A and B are shown apart, each in its own frame.
Chain A
C-alpha cells in the first residue's frame, strides 16, 4: 500500500494514477476485511475500485493525460501534511489498545446493540437502519443531493452548447 502511494505521488501520467488508485482501493478493501469490517470493505471495493475508477477514466477522456508541472515546489503542502500526520499519530497513541474489551466505546451503548432486542443478526444493519435511522435518512438525502447537483450542473452546460436535451 505504501508503495502504491509513493508511486502515485511521483507519476505524472494520469492514466497510471487512476489505475494505481484503483489498486490502492483494493488493498484498502483487503485491509478492511482483515479488520472484520466486511460491510465497509464491500463498499470500498465497489465504489473506490470500481465505479470511481470508471468515472475518473471518463473524466480523463475530457482532458489531457499528462499532469501539468506544478507552479512551485510543494514544500509547504508537504510540511503541512507531515505535521497533520504527526498530530494524528500522536493522538492515536492516546487511544485504547486495539480490540481492548474494556475500552470506553465497548462499555457505553455497544452491549445494547449487540444484545439486539430487534433480532437482526447483522449488527451493522441493525445500527444503520434501526438505531441510527435518522442518520441514514440524512445520508440518503446527501447522496440524493449529490445526484441532483450533478444533474443541475452538467445539464445546463449541455443546453448552453446548443444541445437538444429537454
Chain B
C-alpha cells in the first residue's frame, strides 16, 4: 500500500484531523460524549492508519516501542497516582473532592487526570498489540 498515491495523500490529509479529534474527545469528555477510552482508541487508530499507509517502520519512528511500553504502565500509574494524591491530601483513595480548595474543581481535576491515565494506557495497549502482530508477519515475508 506504500505506493498508492491516493491513499498517501488522503492519509496525510486525514491523520492530523484524526489525532486532533482524539484530543478533542479527550478534553471535551466532560461536556460531550467521549472520554479516555474513546480518545485512546481513536488516537491509536490514527497511528495504525499511518502505519498501514507509510509502513510500520516509519510509524515506529514516530511512536517508538519504548514510548509505547512506557505508556502502558504510565497510564495505570497516573490513575492510581490520582488516588494516592487524594490519600495524601487527607481524603479517601480516589476521593477527588480534596484535590482543590473548591470541591467541584477538585472533582474536575480528578476526572481530568483519571481520564488522561485511561487514555494513555488504552492507546499504549492498542499500539503495542498492533506492533506485535504486524512485526511478527515481517519475518515470514509480506510488508504491512
Residues of A participating in the B interface, judged by any CB pair closer than 8 Å: 38-39, 42-43, 46-47, 50-51, 54-55, 58-59, 61-62, 118-122, 124-126, 128-130, 133-134, 136-137, 139-141, 143-144, 146-148, 150-151, 154, 158, 161, 163
Chain B CB count within 10 A is highest, among A39, A46, A139, A158, for: A46
Interface status of B69 (Cβ within 8 A of chain A): yes
B72 & A122 in contact (Cβ 8 Å cutoff): no
Chain B residues within 8 Å of A161, by CB? 139
A151 & B132 in contact (Cβ 8 Å cutoff): yes
CB distance from B17 to the nearest CB of A (A): 14
Q: Which residue of B lies closest to A118 (CB)?
A: B107
Chain B residues within 8 Å of A43, by CB? 37-38, 41
Instruction: Give the A-B contact count at a CB cut-off of 8 A.
Output: 138
CB distance from B118 to the nearest CB of A (A): 5
Residues of B participating in the A interface, judged by any CB pair closer than 8 Å: 25, 29-38, 41-42, 44-45, 48, 52, 69, 72-73, 75-76, 79-80, 83, 94, 96, 104, 107-108, 110-111, 114-115, 117-118, 121-122, 124-126, 128-130, 132-134, 136-137, 139-140, 142, 144
B45 & A46 in contact (Cβ 8 Å cutoff): yes
Question: Residue A120 contacts which of B37, B69, B111 (CB distance < 8 angstroms)?
Answer: B111
Q: Which residue of A lies closest to B43 (CB)?
A: A46
Question: Residue A122 contacts which of B33, B128, B134, B136 (CB distance < 8 angstroms)?
Answer: B33
Chain B residues within 8 Å of A129, by CB? 35-36, 110-111, 114-115
Contact flag A124-B33 (CB < 8 Å), given A47-B41, A58-B130, A161-B139:
yes
Expressed in whole angstroms, the Cα–Cα distance for A46 and B115 within the complex equals 17
Interface pairs A-B: 7 shortest CB-CB: A147-B125, A38-B33, A46-B41, A58-B133, A118-B107, A133-B94, A129-B111
Expressed in whole angstroms, the Cα–Cα distance for A124 and B118 within the complex equals 15
Chain A residues within 8 Å of B96, by CB? 118, 130, 133
B45 & A126 in contact (Cβ 8 Å cutoff): no
Question: Residue A118 contacts which of B104, B121, B136 (CB distance < 8 angstroms)?
Answer: B104
B33 & A39 in contact (Cβ 8 Å cutoff): yes
A46 & B72 in contact (Cβ 8 Å cutoff): no
Expressed in whole angstroms, the Cα–Cα distance for A153 and B130 within the complex equals 14
Expressed in whole angstroms, the Cα–Cα distance for A104 and B94 within the complex equals 28
Expressed in whole angstroms, the Cα–Cα distance for A137 and B81 within the complex equals 11
Q: Which residue of A lies closest to B32 (CB)?
A: A122
Contact flag A134-B29 (CB < 8 Å), given A51-B44, A140-B79:
no
